[in-house]
Amino acid sequence: MAGIGAETGTIEPGKCADFIVTAKNPLEDLRALRQIEMVVAKGRKIDHPQVKRNPVVTAELDKFLVD
């Protein structure tokens, strides 16, 4: 897709990847996405990033959480 399949799609040496790291598995509990431990973007690592939250977006996303 878009002619970049050889550069993206997996996390491995020689490929480009932007990703987040969480302490818990967000596939098991979406609340894990509230505590981002690290971001890697454009080859730069950011530990414990300060996330700007939008209250409207947060309220909409919270609708997906199961208590």
Domain count, the chain: 1
CA angle, corner 13, sides to 12 and 15, nearest 5? 75
Q: Which domain holds residue 37?
A: 1-67
Residue 11: per-residue pLDDT: 80
**Over the stretch 2-56, which tens digit does the pLDDT of each residue have?**
666 677 677 888 778 889 999 999 999 888 988 999 999 888 999 999 988 899 9
